[in-house]
Structure formats: structure tokens, C-alpha cells
Structure 1
Amino acid sequence: MAARRGITLYHSPASRAFITYWMLEELGVPFRVETVDIRKGQQKSPAYLKLNPSGKVPTLTDGKVVVSETAAICLYLADRYSYGALAPKLEAPARGPYLQWMVYATAVLEPARSLHGAAVPTPPGGWGPGWQPLPQVLDVLQAALKDRDYLLGDRFSTADVMLGATLSMGLLTKEIPEVPVLADYNQRLARRPAYNRAADATWPPDLFARDVLETTS
């Protein structure tokens, strides 16, 4: 399973690879899809582990470049193929908040969603987890999105793909409650054609009910 010329997305149905697929669809760049079905354990094959030793999806190759971890893939694609548009430029005031929300999606929202209600033991040293409980996280997001369409205001960006998809999957699995501000934001995202193409590819309607999703990889 060697890297090919052009962009290849190593993708699985019923996985977080939806986020990267959506990102590629927003960019409108040509890409090919290599299916690595996590339901069949294909992400643990020796060939795939050569690309991604963690045995997770997605992985993306762009010529000789290999990138794993969803946030890293989205940051790479945005800077390479949509710098100044889906990715604010380095000198732009929006660059700071943009990076903040990209990291917040995986470092705060994802663990808060996944571990909500679970007992998280305090590790030696007593520092505790590096994220707030889910209700506080949702308060932060509601405040950020109140009276604005997107995380950066009226401008859609890769931060909306990264954080918005994480939120959307949590709403679909009922792990995140449908508070009005966040539900409205999710509806705006779900009206985007690129979102729907990625959703159809990740959760094909003939195989999956949209309200019953596997989001582990």
C-alpha cells in the first residue's frame, strides 16, 4: 500500500474519516479514495501500518507526503490548497482564533464528548484532565457562535470543518444535546453540498441509518 502520485485519502465507512473527506470536497481538488474498512480490521494490515503505524483512519498522501491525525491533515490541506481562503493567512487577525478552534476540536470537544459521564481518575500529580466537562465546553461554543454564522464570524473556514464535524457526529450519536445555537450551526453546515457528499460516502444510506453511527476508528 504505497503512496501514489496526487492525493489519496485512506478512508473507512463509519469513521471520523468523514472530516477529511468533507475537507477535500470543500477544496474541490482531485483525490482518490482507498477504502480501509475498520469494521473488517483492515486498518491493522501490515501494508496500512507502513503508512500509519497507529493503525487509525484517516491517512492522507499527497505525492510523497504522508499525513495522519485528522486535524493535521486538515491544516495541511488548507494551507497547501486554500491558503488565504479556508485557512487565514499567517498575518491575518483571524489566524489565531482559527488555530484555536482547530485544536479545541480534538483537544477539548472530542474528549469531553467521548468521556462525558465516565469516571476519569485523577492521575499522579493531581493535574486532572486537560479539558472541561462537556456542559462547560458547550457553553464556550454557544458563546462563540451566538449571533454569528461560523466560528470566524461570517466566514466559513477549515475550523468549521474540523470542529463542526466533531460537533455534528456528537449530535447524531446523541452524545451532545441539541441546544438551539449549536443545532442551528449544525444545520447550516449540513446544508453544504460538500458536507453531504462526504456524509454519503462515509455513511452510505443503503448501509447505515444516519442516526446510528460508529465514530470510532
Structure 2
Amino acid sequence: MTADDRITLYYSPQTRATGSRVLLEELGAPYDLHILNMKAGEQRKPAFLAVNPLGKVPTVRHRGQIVTEQVAIFIYLADLFPQAGLTPTLDDPLRGPYLRWIAYCGSSFEPAVIDRFMKREPAPVTQSPYADYDTMLDALEQQLAKGPYLLGERMTAADILCGIALNWTMTFGIVPRRDVFTRYAERITSRPAFQRVTAADAELAALHGAAAGG
């Protein structure tokens, strides 16, 4: 393996980038962290803005290329390590549902919970990317009720993304602690990869500072 084959994760502890690090651990991927001190505003300085103009984490560098946007990072990394079994292959009937739900987390769930957290008036249902908050949440609950994972018995990278997002938003009271959500989040957060990253994040946060978000 060359140095270029290693993955660099631009990272700040206890932010939405945590999910990408958990996924890397689940995949057994070779990676290095490039830590950004968000309390010191390093994500807004020219050095990082040259990497990601939005100044957001997670951001990944691999084989000389940059990948941004959390959902794209999850799809890319899981596809890069198919032997880990966290992504259906292109010819797998579950590939479509997998892409549906991994995208749902980024394009419907996250905008909805941010609007709710910011107490913003939602757009009319015909213009909103997620219809309305309750409909978005109910659809997710109905899918998870089939369980134990988004695709039934098979856990995928979509579950790492969605499970951590649910855990985070329930912790802050943005999403209600419905039984289905609580049990699902516990399945993900009880896994060794999540536990390892949580412990490592606590140490990093003490050293570098942490800022919610990403």
C-alpha cells in the first residue's frame, strides 16, 4: 500500500465528522486524521478552505482527490471496501433501497431537523425537500420498525450514518425518543467501533477543543 492509498479524514471531534470516523473503523480502513480546531476557527482559514471551500467536516482526501458531503463520503468509503459487507454491490437488488435511505438521511432528515432546531418556519409542503417534519420522521420510523436495520436484517453504511444522526438529535431533544428510534440508535452506538471513536473523541476534544456541527 502506498501513502496515497491511505485515507485522510479532515476531522474535528464530537462533530458530524464522527460518523465518518466510525465508518472507517467499521471498514477496517487505513486512515489518518487531519485535526481541525474548530474553537480556534481553523476550518475557516485559507489552508482548509483551499481543500473544502465550505469549511466543513467531514472531508476526505484519497488518491489525490477530495470528497466532501457526508453522504458522498459514506457511499465512497463503503464502496472502496466491499469486503466489509457494508454496501450492496451494483447488481444487488438492495442497492437501490440502500441508496434511497442513505440519501434520505442527508437530503430529508438533516434539513428537517435543522429547521426544527433553528425554529425556522418550514417551507410549504410542495416546496420543502422533506415534505414536512412529521411525515419525514414517520416514514423513517415505519422503515425502521421492519428492522432491525434500514434494510431489514442487513446492516449497511446507511445505518452507521442514520443511527448516529438519530442518537445525536435525540440527545439534544430535536427528535423525540420513540421506541423504534431508541432501540435502533442503541444497536449502532453499542458497537465497538462507535465506542472506540467516542473514547478517542473525548481525548481529542480535551486537547483540541470541540464544536457541535461540522
Do they fold alike, i.e. is TM over 0.5? yes
Pair 122,182 (structure 1): closer, same or farther in 2 beyond 3 Å:
closer
Equivalent position amino acid for 1:45 in 2: K
After TM superposition, the structure 1 = structure 2 runs for residues 21-100 of structure 1, keeping only pairs within 5 Å, are: 21-82=21-82, 85-100=85-100
Deviates more, 1:182-191 or 1:108-117: 108-117
Question: Structure 1 regions of 5+ residues with no counterpart?
Answer: 208-212
**How many angstroms apart in 1 are the aligned matches of 2:120 and 2:74?**
31
**How many angstroms apart in 1 are the aligned matches of 2:52 and 2:95?**
29
After TM superposition, the structure 1 = structure 2 runs for residues 12-27 of structure 1, keeping only pairs within 5 Å, are: 12-27=12-27
**How many angstroms apart in 1 are the aligned matches of 2:203 and 2:41?**
19
Q: Which has the higher helix share?
A: 2
Q: Deviations over 1:44-88 (max 9, x none)?
A: 121111111111111111121211111111111111112682110
**How many angstroms apart in 1 are the aligned matches of 2:43 and 2:71?**
19
**How many angstroms apart in 2 are the aligned matches of 1:94 and 1:169?**
27
**How many angstroms apart in 2 are the aligned matches of 1:75 and 1:106?**
12
Equivalent position amino acid for 1:151 in 2: L
**How many angstroms apart in 2 are the aligned matches of 1:144 and 1:122?**
25
Equivalent position amino acid for 2:120 in 1: A
User: What count of residue pairs does the alignment treat as equivalent?
Assistant: 208
Pair 192,169 (structure 1): closer, same or farther in 2 beyond 3 Å:
same
What's 1:138 paired with? Answer: 137
Pair 206,67 (structure 1): closer, same or farther in 2 beyond 3 Å:
closer
Residue 215 of structure 1 deviates from its aligned partner by 3.2
Q: What secondary structure is seen at the aligned counterpart in 1 of 2:19? A: helix
Q: Does 1:119 align with 2:120?
A: yes
Equivalent position amino acid for 1:200 in 2: A
Q: What TM-score results when the alignment is normalised by the length of structure 1? A: 0.87
2:213 to 210, 213, 216: 216
Q: Deviations over 1:124-179 (max 9, x none)?
A: xx943211333222211211111421111111101101222211110111111100
What's 1:193 paired with? Answer: 192
Deviates more, 1:94-103 or 1:84-93: 84-93
Q: What secondary structure is seen at the aligned counterpart in 2 of 1:51? A: coil
Pair 148,68 (structure 1): closer, same or farther in 2 beyond 3 Å:
same
What's 1:167 paired with? Answer: 166
Equivalent position amino acid for 2:179 in 1: P
**How many angstroms apart in 2 are the aligned matches of 1:149 and 1:51?**
38
Q: What TM-score results when the alignment is normalised by the length of structure 2? A: 0.88
- Decide whether the 8 Å contact of 1:60 with 1:67 is kept in 2: yes
- Decide whether the 8 Å contact of 1:83 with 1:89 is kept in 2: no
